[in-house]
Chains A and B, each alone.
Chain A
Amino acid sequence: MNDWVIALIKVVFIWTWTLIIATIMTWVERRGSAMIQDRLGPNRAGPFGLFQPLADGIKLFTKEDIIPEKAHKILFNLGPILFALPAFSAYAVVPFGDKIVIGGKEILLQVADVNVGFLYIVAVGSMAVYGIVVGGWGSNNKYSILGGLRSTAQLISYEVPWGIVLLTTVMVYGTFSLREISLAQQGTFLGFLPNWGIFKQPLGFILFIVTAYAEANRVPFDLPEAESEIVAGYHTEYGSMRLGLYLFGEYVNMYTLAALMVTLFFGAWHLPYVDMSKFLSPFAYGIASFLVFFAKVAFFLWLFVWVRWTVPRFRYDQVMGLGWKALIPLALANLFITALVVQLTV
């Protein structure tokens, strides 16, 4: 029974945590972009405009809920749910810290340490595309359909190199469990580098980050919602909280992907050269590991924002070209080389 309560607390905690982060991310996005563009951004609601996301949330909740007359009612309602649900559930297997000891009980800072965590993420992550397609189709709007189609093609093509890169890391660590991968990144590599995934898989990391941007529909791969081309893509017809779910889902996706990046390539909760568990009390270590992990995630979240306001957008066929002609061969080559190295060294 006790385990159930702990699991429930963890679920609720990570759920609210991602929601809060997603909310704050909307603020970071706006303020960050403003700073990059020599502006100030929202600064009226609360100190530094921190309550702006709250105000936006209230606005989204209280706005009139419009369903276009000729939209497919069921699909139109289903779209945002299908998009947000996988986004929220994907985080379940990603750790958010090492472990914490409360009252003599050791608690893993991870909702579920599934031994097929990878497959779960790939499977659930792919579900998001249904939300986009269903929403785009249900809206009965040509722009929405275009956005939905673009998104389908993009997500499906980028899932291939993404999957291959994940496979490569699995090969390196020999496990499907994200927790074990995290634990394996302690210590040093070649004597002087932190034992992080990025030093073992530099090409893999670059491929992963590019595909992650495509998976999250972020600039330069934001074709599904390319504002200047197809208005708002698949969520053109959406308003009020339905739109809110799409936007939230997007940020939660970003959070999951950033966490995955940290887990696979940036040593999860490990600080370079320092083993925190040796000189911190178990409880403090739990907190510290969570904070270190989050700091790394925060950097990647910021990178999402930073890149968005720096580069232009791809064109549809160019995205496909990049995915199939450049990323997949590179990922395969990377896989091959890794396999060779693993085979020779083990």
Chain B
Amino acid sequence: MARPVVEKKYSFTERIYLYEIVKGLGLTWKHFVKNFTASLKRGPHTVPTCWQYPEDRREISPIFRGEHLLLLDEQGREKCVGCGMCARACPAKCITVKRGKVAEGEESRYAGKTYCEEFQIDLLRCIFCGFCEEACPKGAIALGKGYELARYTPGECQLTKEKMLANYRREKELGILKPPRKPVPVAGAAKEAAAKAKGADEGKAKD
């Protein structure tokens, strides 16, 4: 294997080392002065990269994919019907859903005829891809803004229904709930819409 012979052709300023080094020093000096004056200012976020984390947090995207929420509808009823679509869509297989029939007298708590008796997400397995959110026909699950996922025990990493509802309430209070997903325009949309309407009718008929 012939290794190519590389001729080094340096210009004079390159050859003497110091010229370029001094230029580089000038550049870093400019940065130093800029940041030094900035750091003297009071305030949390003076230098562009540095967020003083626990006190000072960067703004995160409104559609951030973090810790899960279980959504309630306007009347405060659980949207989830326990169909298990999310569990089926999950690539990491971290969702366990147990479906239950809504008992009589409890209709005010649940939006559907059925509900999830048990809803558990294993945060140790979850990869936060957001597929559960997309798969949910009722828009009942969403990935929230929680990104501080460190826990002391593996047990705490099991996200139960109560925890997810609590997440939802907290985010609603803070007003950082994710805007509802915009439907993605699909090619041949008109036909699709008709089919959807028909599908919805059928769904109703079934119920």
Contact = CB atoms under 8 A, between A and B. Distances in A.
Answer whether A and B are interacting partners: yes
Interface residues of B, number: 18
B31 interface: yes
Greatest chain B CB density within 10 A among A37, A43, A306, A310 is at A310
A35 B39 contact: yes
Contacts of A34: 35
Contacts of B35: 34-36, 38-39
A39 to B, nearest CB: 6
A39 B49 contact: yes
A40 interface: yes
A207 B111 CA distance: 82
Interface in B143-194: none
Interface of A: 32, 34-40, 43, 206, 306-307, 309-311
Contacts of A36: 28, 31-32, 35
Contact of A306 (B18, B25, B46): B25
Interface of B: 18, 21, 24-25, 27-29, 31-32, 35-36, 39, 46-50, 52
B21 A38 contact: no
B24 A39 contact: no
Contact of B25 (A39, A43, A206, A307): A307
B21 A307 contact: yes
A138 B25 CA distance: 38
Given A32-B32, A35-B31, A40 B50 contact: yes
B48 A311 contact: no
Task: Specify which of A38, A39, A309 lies most central, judged by the most chain B CB atoms within 10 Å of its CB.
Answer: A38
B31 A310 contact: no
Contacts of B28: 36, 306, 309-310
A311 B50 contact: no
B24 A38 contact: no
A309 B46 CA distance: 21
Nearest to A48: B39
A307 B18 CA distance: 11
B50 A310 contact: no
26 contacts: A32-B32, A34-B35, A35-B36, A35-B39, A36-B32, A36-B35, A38-B35, A39-B35, A39-B47, A39-B49, A39-B50, A40-B39, A40-B50, A40-B52, A43-B39, A206-B18, A306-B28, A306-B29, A306-B32, A307-B21, A307-B25, A309-B28, A310-B21, A310-B27, A310-B28, A311-B24
Nearest to B35: A35
Contact of B47 (A38, A206, A310): A38
Contacts of B47: 38-40
A307 to B, nearest CB: 7
A32 B29 CA distance: 10
Contact of A38 (B27, B31, B52): B31
Given A36-B32, A306-B25, 20 more contacts: A35-B31, A35-B35, A36-B28, A37-B31, A38-B35, A38-B47, A38-B49, A39-B47, A39-B49, A39-B50, A40-B39, A40-B46, A40-B50, A206-B18, A306-B29, A306-B32, A307-B25, A309-B28, A310-B21, A311-B24
